[in-house]
Amino acid sequence: MDYGRLAIDRQLEKFREIVTRNELVSEVLARAAEPALPGWYLTAGCLCQTVWNVVTGRPPAEGIKDYDLFYFDDSDLSWDAENAVIEEGVRRFGDLPATVEIRNEARVHLWYEDRFGVPCAPYPSTEAAIDSFPSTTPCLGIRLVGEEWRVYAPHGFSDLFDLVVRPNPGHAPRSSYEAKARRWQEQWPELTVLPWPG
């Protein structure tokens, strides 16, 4: 079925149905809801790759190396404060058969240029950090508030269901997009990777 042509409310239902087929997504969400880090989301590759796996007939968790857990705390921008959260995450998630990568998005501008070669303005929120991904396709975030799902999907779900990788110029560098796209297409050759605009 062409999920990308469904009405947006049905796409949201289908997205939730598909990503919860990956038991690790559900488990990380449940465990992450307990400490309720400020502005937290489970985000990025673990979500879009789960959908790609299911849509292409693969096991839901196949090939997913890590599960990105973002939060936003600008009250203390020290590495020590972030590292304390990361270490608590090791205790909370360490028994799972995948790595849960926890990062304070309020601190990204402090290390981004050293890693990627271009400066990054401070993010005002976790949502702004998600908006800056090299590709629009994995710009997704989910969290639990009680039993309720909160979903952030600024670009919707059509590209995700249609296996389209779309660049997000103006945020991350072109090299990051192209490196990720190559890696993804090696694992999911069904993907259509759109070129970075000239």
Residue 112 forms part of a structural domain: yes
Q: What percent of the chain has pLDDT over 90?
A: 82
Mean pLDDT of 44-57: 96
Residue 37 forms part of a structural domain: yes
Owner of token pair 């059509």: 158
Instruction: Kindly report, residue by residue over 11-43, the tens digit of the pLDDT.
Output: 999 999 999 999 999 999 999 998 779 999 999
Measured CA to CA in angstroms, residue 188 lies from 20, 54, 73, 185 at distances of: 20, 11, 35, 5
Residue 198 forms part of a structural domain: no
Domain hosting residue 8, numbered range: 3-193
Instruction: Kindly report, residue by residue over 152-174, the tens digit of the pLDDT.
Output: 999 999 999 999 999 999 878 89
In 3-state terms, what secondary structure has residue 197? coil
Helix (H) or strand (E) holding 43: strand 41-43
**Structurally, how many domains does the chain consist of?**
1
Residue 33 forms part of a structural domain: yes
Residue 39 forms part of a structural domain: yes
* pLDDT at position 24: 96
**How sure is the predictor about 179, in pLDDT bands with cuts at 50, 70 and 90?**
very high
* pLDDT at position 4: 65
Residue 12 forms part of a structural domain: yes
Please choose, from the candidates 20, 29, 72, 80, the residue with its C-alpha nearest in 3D space to the C-alpha of residue 50.
20
Residues 6+ apart with CB under 8 A from 114: none
The maximal CA–CA distance of the chain, rounded, in angstroms, is 48
In 3-state terms, what secondary structure has residue 184? helix
Q: Is 0.75 surpassed by the pTM of this model?
A: yes
Kindly tell me if the per-residue pLDDT of 143 is higher than 80: yes
